[in-house]
Chain A
Amino acid sequence: MTCKKIFEVKDLSKSFGKLEVLKNINESIYEAEVVCIIGPSGSGKSTFLRCLNLLEKPTSGKVFFEDVDISDKSIKINKYRQKIGMVFQSFNVFPHLTVLENITLTPVLEKKVSKEDAKNDAFELLKRVGLFDKRDEYPTRLSGGQKQRLAIVRALAMKPDVMLFDEPTSALDPEMVKEVLEVIKDLAKSNMTIVIVTHEMGFAREVSDRILFMDEGIIAEQGTPSEIFDNPQNERTIEFLGKVL
């Protein structure tokens, strides 16, 4: 593993009103690493992930992306977000745009890629996830699994340095979970840096380089998949894994 840090989080805290969701977190994500974040609901996993691209503003602490403090208020955050892909639980594809337009919109508008190049890139990506035939459809015609695959390639079209996945399969029907996980696995093999919040323990074990177990706003334990799943040390980790495995 290389040592280049993609993300570095320093003393990160986040509160919603009186509720303290993240408590003084210090953590780094390294290049080409696949990190899965697991833990009970309400433990702050999603909030932590959303702090990485500043969809949630930290209450205190700093977030560095490739050595730039992106939590600095004077920074143009959308320039950095272009390099940080994100996939949501609820897909959030754009319903008023076709599959192709969903993908090409941002590269053309924000990266000034020519329409022709954007379209060719999009075709490549759509072929990769088996959606090429659907390129001119509107998302209402797609199944949940297809929408999520579209959301993934829409993010990839920006050629990001890292991909964040926020429970990407939680809103899917069981038979569609696999097709989405396959796409993420392929991505992991291509050396993409990936951070995933997930409840799919089997998948987390298979794909991760490192697992973070979060509980009550802190990273309670972390390690390789076999350390976490076969030999957990923290009492809360043991309790949690006992319930879900």
Chain B
Amino acid sequence: MVETVIDLWTKYDYVYINGLLGTIYLAAITVFIATIIGTVIAIMKLSEIKIFDFITALYIGVLRGTPILLQLYFFWLVLPKITPFELSDTVCIVIALIVNASAYVAEIIRAGIQAVDKGQTEAAKSLGLSDANTMKKIILPQAIKNILPALGNEYITMIKQTSLASVFFVGELMTSYKTVQSATFLAVPSLVIVGIIYLIITTILSKGLNIFERRLRLNDM
């Protein structure tokens, strides 16, 4: 078994490495754009405008209440039909991943902001700070300490979720597994290789996150 794994790796390492690059690419785009969109949605949700509250509640509710695989299928099927220009499978899947992740990011940011003691807002307002300065100088610097660790965990989850793109044969790590498996008929050794690569990335990121969290807490002292 160990030998087969090593053999497979020596022979097909470029396939896996390409897959890894695909995964990193998908995850990076998703994380980056989902964070921006998620922030906007969180701000809309926190605003006291009723229509925004309704729209964002619906958006977050649907995206968190249905399976991500269903959402990928939905975007993959529907997007090409409603856009006037050609969309590759990859683009459809990336958009779906971003939309899904943005809902989770929005909830993390909203919760982080709302976890800041209400007295802080009241004190800032009573001093005569504008709403924008209250957010920027008082609420966000405190909320960020709640948000960042949770966001880091969400990013790790996103990396694992990009594997669902393999269902649509979008180039990433799990698709590499399929490629090698169909060429060699060796399923389990290929899975082991891919699994180890995922484990390495997620472990590195969790460790990095732990160090970062400890730093944040030190600043509190």
Contacts and interface: CB of A to CB of B under 8 A. Distances in A.
Contacts of A34: none
Contacts of B138: 94
B119 A82 contact: no
B117 A106 contact: no
B125 A81 contact: yes
Interface string B156-192: 0000000000000000000000000000000000000
A90 interface: yes
Given A92-B119, A92-B122, 10 more contacts: A53-B126, A78-B125, A78-B130, A85-B126, A88-B122, A90-B119, A91-B119, A92-B123, A94-B120, A110-B127
Contacts of A158: 127-128
Interface residues of B, number: 20
Best-surrounded residue of A85, A96, A155 (most CB of chain B within 10 A): A96
Nearest to A94: B138
Nearest 10 CB-CB pairings of A with B: A82-B128, A92-B123, A86-B126, A92-B119, A81-B128, A106-B127, A78-B128, A96-B141, A90-B119, A109-B133
Nearest to B122: A55
Contacts of B221: 140
A110 B124 CA distance: 11
Interface range for A: 20 to 34
Contacts of B131: 78
12 contacts: A78-B128, A78-B131, A81-B127, A81-B128, A82-B127, A92-B117, A92-B123, A94-B124, A95-B142, A109-B129, A110-B127, A110-B129
Contacts of B127: 81-82, 85-86, 106, 110, 154-155, 158
Nearest to B127: A106
Contacts of A151: 123
B144 to A, nearest CB: 9
A109 B125 CA distance: 13
Contacts of A88: 119, 122-123, 126
B167 to A, nearest CB: 45
A81 B126 contact: yes
Interface in B116-153: 117, 119-120, 122-131, 133, 137-138, 141-142
Contacts of A90: 119
A140 B220 CA distance: 8
Interface string B87-107: 000000000000000000000
